[in-house]
């Protein structure tokens, strides 16, 4: 006989107990319903892919964190570390099978061998949604509106979307002759929320001249309202050769949200850059009004070429990604997660094993009226059965012993108020149950 | 500039296009709702675990097929190949946090590096459900009833559950002095559905004596009805030292299903053994009445010790596993899968970019009445927009140009009948849409 193996999970990985998995599944289903109501369709891709496909961008940090190995056939494979690269590969592979413009969502786990000391998980859930095959302002607007409405739908309350446009930022860098330092400047500016303007001034000063530093700082500082901010951004980035399309795009979005009276949800914030070179148009981050300290729970932007690694014709689009684990943690802290231990409405107690069929028939009848009903599986003491109901948060019990069975009646007990309703017909008990549960 | 990378997936792995992912998600959600209505709760476990945990049973075939590698920290890890071993580990790890008896379900992907030539996938979806912490007949019965009702709920129609009891089979083997050859006998008998009784006779004849072969064949051949089958099984396996509990268990189940008038769903078939040593009580396989050739879509049984590898106290239970991919394939062949390309009810055409906000407000209004509404994201030719609606299977279009906008009216078009309803108020259009869709 072999020894006992420790039932432990890997660092950074988690088991989900029912009281966490139930709200997680609810959240995912609410998001699925939300995306469907906007015409977005679900896709799925393999968890495991050729390493060449996933790592072709060669991002240093990502490469190091990716779970990569050789499979039985000696293939160099890896676990996906995000849902963006698989989506690019998917679009390239199926471009003739998709309706373009293509609106999709994808909810799934991804894996990164990150340092768990920073409270990060190595297995976590992402939720991505994109519209590809169009460069329109309508798509930009829709992604941001859908995001805000989605967060509202799952109980996260009101949100503030901070957005900007990479086109204007790049225009400014060009004007300042800094286009060769784009990546570094972006990286520094992207940190402003964490390190503050003072620190950003110091870091920029080490990279570019004093005057350029001040111009950059001026540019990334919002004015008193969106219109003023846009005016300042446009003026600083202005140059004769440019067509002003970025300015027009921002204006179109501001016009629309004002008409929809949603302008309080959208803040033009030129310090938002989203680091990555990948983005070419609008970029945004989303903060919960009730918990801005949580950081951005949903970020994204417009890209000019999603599929560059896999096909010649560029495919542009706009999309965003929700970090579901961070969002869940935030909702839990805000007390917005209902940690139900089960979805059961009514427990049918087992008083007599000979009544097995009767209990199952009763349960079946209750389910037909939309009540979640379960039969306690053993003839144990009533105390144990009530304790089970309490642990699972079950509000009602149906009690039928041999006496009630012969009389053709049932007893219903409200486990919250401890009130009993005895000698009822099944129909009356079912009606009473629906009434107590407010169904 | 690097060359173009082939956007290919690994052999045995699949992308899911929306028209397959939409019904797959529907199927999963219907199963989730079904399990919830029986009081079963969801759990989740990591995809990646210590190899020692997953492979501790040391099943030869499984070991060879498992994706196993060393992670960044040099840990020996593996992708789960089923949901049973992770469940055993989970129960051992959280035994003090679970309400016992514990009824859970788990739907998730598993990975096996199988030979893909047999039409098998290397990444596939399993759906497991179990009741643990009780040895009762009530739990045995419930698992089988829930399974049959679940298959009905997802449109698979009526099912035939073929079940037997490993206790009686083991008793017979003991009586025949064959307990040392249990595993081999089980493996041969398990093949009867595929190779037939003649071939089984030959294989058994090579393993045991002629008389034992005939007794075994007699035992595994069902009689004309469940009661007769039980009588024959009990007589052949009878011995003085045995307590008859297996016979009583089968009888209890037969009594209950007769009272529930579900006996046509349940067939006592002593040739069902489920191969594995793991099972100790009832065992069963499930076949669709409309497509028995698909093979068993849901199989399981009772086990005496789920957690033996991870803790000292044994935990018994009963459970089953649905092969969702095989089931999906069967439902598709039966024409029971609705390959909808989207869930969108109504497409709002874009005739004028200046009306962006208006289109979004209209969409919002429709969604509030439970209609899935999407705005076409570009001001393209109407032909292109209608073609998009057709490709996505969208039944209705809402058409608002600058003229309608000024008049405060909208035009609704039924894309199936090609009927148009022009000059409606928004409320009337919404009412008409609900009427056409029968909502």
ipTM, 2 dp:
0.95
Q: Do B39 and A374 touch (CB under 8 A)?
A: yes
Percent of chain A whose pLDDT exceeds 70: 98
pLDDT of residue A193: 83
The arithmetic mean of pLDDT across residues B275-300, rounded, is: 92
Q: Is the dihedral of CA A296, A297, A302, A308 positive or negative?
A: positive
Inform me whether the pLDDT recorded for B304 exceeds 80: yes
- Which of B43, B45, B46, B359 best probes binding to A when mutated, by most A CB atoms within 10 angstroms? B46
Rounded Cα distance between B350 and A251, Å, is: 19
> pLDDT (tens digit, 9 = 90+) per residue, A76-106?
999 999 999 999 999 999 999 999 999 999 9
The minimal CB distance from A90 to the residues B15, B139, B255 is found for: B15
| A311 vs B contacts (CB less than 8 Å) | 4, 7
Of all residues in chain B, the one with the smallest CA distance to A5 is B310
Please say whether the beta carbons of B325 and B109 come within 8 A: no
pLDDT over 50 at B313, yes or no? yes
User: B233-247 in b/e burial notation, b at 16+ Cβ within 10 A?
Assistant: bbebbeeeebeeebb
CB neighbour list of residue B45: distance below 8 Å, 6 or more residues apart: A9, A15, A16, B80, B83, B86, B87, B89, B90, B106, B108
Taking a C-beta distance cutoff of 8 angstroms, is the pair A398, A367 a contact?
no
Instruction: Give pLDDT, residue B61.
Output: 75
Q: What confidence tens digit (pLDDT) does each residue in A175-196 have?
A: 999 999 998 998 899 888 889 9
pLDDT confidence tier of residue B93, bands split at 50, 70 and 90: very high
| Chain A residues touching residue B378 (CB < 8 angstroms) | 101, 134, 136, 138-139
Torsion of CA B394, B396, B397, B398, to 10 degrees: -140
Which residues of B fall within a CB distance of 8 Å from A356? 137-138, 141, 252, 255-256
Query: Tell me, what's the pLDDT at A57?
Result: 65
pLDDT at A118 over 80: no
Q: Which two tokens stand for residue B189?
A: 């008998």
Question: Per-residue pLDDT averaged across B241-269, rounded?
Answer: 93
Contact residues on chain A for B94, CB-CB shorter than 8 A = 15, 17
Q: What was the pLDDT predicted at B1?
A: 46
What global pTM score does this model have?
0.95
Residue B231 has pLDDT above 80, yes or no: yes
Rounded to whole angstroms, the Cα distance separating A116 from B154 reads: 41
Fold match between B18-333 and B346-437?
A: no
CA distances from A137 to A282, A283, A335, B356 (A): 10, 13, 36, 9
Question: What is the model's pLDDT at position B114?
Answer: 84
Name the residue among B38, B347, B371 with its Cβ closest to that of A374: B38
Q: B76: phi > 0 → left, psi -120 to 50 → alpha, else beta; which?
A: beta
Q: Taking all residues of chain B, what is their mean pLDDT, rounded to a whole number?
A: 94
| pLDDT-derived band at A2, boundaries 50, 70, 90 | low
Amino acid A263: pLDDT: 87
Nearest to A134 among B139, B353, B378 (CB): B378
Mean pLDDT confidence for B131-157: 96
Indicate if the pLDDT at residue A58 is higher than 70. Answer: no
Lowest mean pLDDT among A180-194, A421-435, B318-332: A180-194
For residues A394-419, average pLDDT: 97
Name which of A7, A55, A395 to mutate to probe chain B: the one with the most chain B Cβ atoms within 10 A of its Cβ. A7
Residues in chain A: 439
For residue B322, the model assigns a pLDDT of 95
- Please tell me which residue, B239 or A137, carries the higher pLDDT value: A137
Give the residue extent of every domain in chain A: 18-333, 346-437
Instruction: Supply the pLDDT for residue A369.
Output: 93
- pLDDT tens digits for B348-379? 999 999 999 999 999 999 999 999 999 999 99
Selected residue with higher pLDDT from B243 and B332: B332
Report residue B332: phi and psi, to 5°: -65, -45
A310 with B7: Cβ contact below 8 A: yes
Which two three-digit tokens encode residue B87? 């469940």
In chain B, residues with a C-beta closer than 8 Å to the C-beta of A309 are: 2, 4-5
How buried is residue A383: exposed, middle or buried, by Cβ count under 10 Å (0-12/13-18/19+)? exposed
Q: Tell me: the pLDDT tens digits for B97-110?
A: 999 999 999 999 99
More confident residue, A116 or A48: A48
Could you say which architecture CATH assigns to the domain B346-437? 3-Layer(aba) Sandwich (3.40)
Q: Which of B48, B257, B259, B376 best tests the A interface by mutation, with the highest count of A CBs <10 A? A: B48
Mean pLDDT, residues B49-54 taken together: 95
CATH of domain A18-333: 3.30.930.10
Q: CA-based angle A101:A107:A110, to the nearest 5?
A: 120
pLDDT digits (tens, 9 = 90+) for A386-397: 999 999 999 999
CA B420 – CA B418 distance, rounded (Å): 6
CB A139 within 8 A of CB B377: yes
CB contact under 8 A, B7 and A342: no
């Amino acid at each position: 006989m072999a020894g006992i193996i420790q039932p432990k999970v890997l660092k950074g990985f988690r088991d989900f107990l029912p009281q966490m998995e139930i709200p997680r599944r609810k959240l995912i289903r609410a998001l699925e319903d939300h995306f469907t109501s906007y015409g977005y369709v679900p896709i799925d891709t393999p968890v495991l892919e050729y390493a060449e496909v996933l790592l072709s961008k060669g991002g240093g940090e990502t490469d190091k964190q990716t779970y990569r190995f050789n499979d039985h056939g000696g293939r160099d494979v890896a676990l996906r570390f995000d849902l963006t690269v698989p989506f690019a590969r998917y679009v390239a592979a199926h471009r003739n099978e998709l309706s373009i413009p293509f609106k999709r969502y994808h909810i799934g786990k991804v894996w990164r061998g990150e340092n768990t000391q920073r409270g990060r998980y190595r297995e976590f859930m992402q939720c991505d949604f994109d519209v590809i095959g169009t460069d329109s302002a309508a798509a930009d607007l829709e992604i941001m509106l859908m995001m805000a409405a989605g967060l509202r739908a799952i109980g996260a309350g009101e949100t503030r979307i901070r957005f900007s446009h990479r086109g204007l930022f790049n225009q400014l860098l060009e004007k300042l002759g800094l286009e060769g330092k784009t990546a570094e400047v972006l990286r520094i500016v992207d940190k402003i929320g964490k390190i503050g303007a003072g620190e950003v001034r110091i870091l920029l000063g080490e990279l570019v001249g004093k005057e350029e530093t001040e111009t950059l700082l001026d540019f990334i500082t919002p004015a008193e309202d969106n219109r003023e901010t846009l005016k300042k951004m446009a003026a600083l980035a202005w140059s004769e050769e440019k067509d002003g399309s970025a300015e027009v795009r921002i204006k179109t979005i501001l016009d629309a949200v004002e008409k929809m009276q949603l302008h309080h949800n959208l803040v033009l914030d030129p310090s938002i850059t989203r680091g990555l070179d990948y983005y070419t148009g609008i970029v945004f981050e989303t903060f919960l009004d009730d918990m801005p300290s949580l950081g951005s729970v949903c970020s994204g932007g417009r890209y000019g070429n999603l599929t560059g690694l896999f096909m010649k014709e560029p495919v542009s689009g706009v999309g965003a990604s929700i970090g579901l684990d961070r969002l869940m943690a935030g909702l839990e802290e805000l007390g917005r997660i209902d940690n139900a231990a089960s979805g059961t409405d009514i427990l049918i107690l087992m008083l007599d094993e000979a009544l097995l069929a009767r209990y199952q028939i009763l349960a079946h009848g209750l389910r037909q009226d939309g009540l979640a009903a379960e039969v306690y599986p053993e003839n144990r003491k009533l105390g144990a059965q009530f304790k089970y109901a309490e642990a699972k948060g079950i509000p009602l019990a149906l009690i039928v012993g041999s006496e009630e069975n012969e009389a053709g009646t049932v007893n219903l007990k409200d486990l919250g108020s401890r009130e009993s309703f005895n000698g009822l017909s099944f129909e009356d008990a079912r009606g009473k149950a629906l009434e107590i549960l407010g169904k």
